[in-house]
Structure formats: C-alpha cells, structure tokens
C-alpha cells in the first residue's frame, strides 16, 4: 500500500512538473518589457540597429519552429520587427515599459537581434 502511495505521489510530481514546463505563452501573446535599442554587426560588415524588448527572467513562448515543430523558447529579449519599419517616435520609448503583440518566432537570420523575433509587431499601449 505504501509503495502505491509513493508511486502515485511521484506520478503527481512528474505531472505537475510537465504542466509547469508547458505553460509557455502563445506566439501571439501580448508581451511587456523595457525598450532598448540594440546595435550589432551583420557578418557582411553592415551595422545593425533594432528595437528590442527586455523581459524579466523565467518566461517562455511556444512558437512554430524552423523545422515545422513546436519549440519553447526562453523570453529574454524580443526583437520587434515592425511591418513598416520602426515607428518614427520609437526613441521616446527607450527605457520605458511597453506592451507589444505580433507573431513571435525563432530568430533565423543574422539580421535578428534577440532570443525571439516578434514579426509584424504592434505597440498596444
């Protein structure tokens, strides 16, 4: 009897851990973070500059992976890729906490600056 209780408790702990591990945000979630401008250099030598949201640790997002599978990515910093280029007033946001939404995905080119890219990003506040 005690063995069955121990096994049941172990199954409950494993189930809770799996549930916690799968609680990543969806790819179209509204995300809030601190705005910073990040600069870098592309391998071809061109300089890069992008608007990036920096987030508190411990969050993740589930996205369609590059190989067609679902991938959980840590959310540390999100490169905001606006469909029409960065809005003209983005410099006013630097250091501010803003919320944005779009379709998040894996960074897949040397032009992407972040652990995640938010395509077609829109500011919601």
Looking at the predicted structure, is the pLDDT value of residue 72 above 80? Answer: yes
Please report whether residue 51 resides in a domain. Answer: yes
Residues 25, 62 contacting (CB under 8 angstroms): yes
E strand or H helix that includes residue 97: strand 97-105
CATH number for the domain that contains residue 74: 2.40.50
37-68 per-position pLDDT tens digit: 988 888 888 888 888 999 998 999 998 888 88
Domain range enclosing 119: 26-123
Please report whether residue 3 resides in a domain. Answer: no
Domain count of the fold of the chain: 1
Please report whether residue 53 resides in a domain. Answer: yes
Question: What's the pTM value of the predicted model, to 2 decimals?
Answer: 0.74
**Rg of the chain taking only CA atoms, in angstroms:** 19
Please report whether residue 40 resides in a domain. Answer: yes
């Amino acid at each position: 009897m005690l063995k069955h209780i121990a096994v049941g408790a172990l199954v409950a702990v494993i189930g809770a851990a799996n549930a916690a591990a799968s609680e990543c945000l969806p790819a179209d979630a509204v995300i809030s973070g601190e705005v910073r401008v990040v600069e870098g250099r592309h391998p071809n030598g061109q300089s890069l500059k992008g608007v990036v949201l920096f987030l508190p640790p411990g969050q993740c997002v589930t996205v369609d992976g590059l190989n067609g599978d679902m991938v959980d990515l840590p959310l540390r910093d999100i490169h905001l890729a606006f469909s029409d280029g960065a809005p003209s007033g983005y410099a006013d946001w630097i250091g501010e906490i803003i919320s944005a939404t779009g379709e998040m995905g894996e960074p897949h080119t040397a032009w992407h600056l972040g652990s995640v890219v938010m395509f077609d990003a829109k500011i919601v506040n």
